Amino acid sequence: MSHISFNTVVHPDAEAVARQNKDLGPSRKDIRSGVRAHLDDCFRCEKKASAETQLRKCSGCLIVRYCSKQCQLADWPTHKAACSDRGSADHLKLTKRLLANDILMYHLQLYAILELDLVDRPANALDHCLYVAVDTEMPADPMGHLQASLKGQVNPDPTYILWVRHIEKKPIVEHASSAARDSHRAFKASLSATGMSDWPVVLLVFTSDNLVILEIPYAIDPRPMQHCREKRPSTYVSGISGRVELPLSKETVREDLNNCILMDKSNQYLLRTKLKHNSSF
44 belongs to the binding site for Zn ion (CB under 5 A): yes
- Is residue 81 part of the contact set for Zn ion (CB under 5 A)? no
At residue 4, the 3 state secondary structure works out as coil
Residues 6 or more apart whose Cβ sits within 8 Å of residue 58: 43, 64, 65, 66, 72, 79, 83
What's the rounded Cα separation, in Å, for the pair 281 and 275? 13
Smaller CB separation from Zn ion, 58 or 246: 58
Q: What are phi and psi of 92, to 5 degrees?
A: -65, -45
Residues 6-35, one symbol each (x = binds Zn ion by CB under 5 A, - = not), give ------------------------------
66/269 with CB nearer Zn ion = 66
* Residue 45 contacts Zn ion per CB under 5 A: yes
- Is there binding between residue 83 and Zn ion (CB under 5 A)? yes
Examine residue 71 and tell whether it contacts Zn ion (CB under 5 A).
yes
Residue 40 identity (one-letter amino acid):
D
Q: Is 59 helix (H, G, I), strand (E, B) or coil?
A: coil
Name the minimum Å distance from CB 41 to Zn ion: 8
91 binding Zn ion? (CB under 5 A): no
Verify binding: residue 58, Zn ion, rule CB under 5 A.
yes
The rounded distance, in Å, linking the Cα atoms of 59 and 272 is 24
Check binding of 116 to Zn ion (CB under 5 A). Answer: no
Compute the Cα dihedral for 244, 221, 200, 170 and give only its sign. positive
Task: For residue 236, give the H/E element and its range.
Answer: strand 234-238
Least CB distance to Zn ion at residue 105 (A): 24
Q: How far is the CB of 163 from Zn ion (least distance, A)?
A: 23
Interacting residues with Zn ion (CB under 5 A): 42, 44-45, 47, 58, 60-61, 67, 71, 83
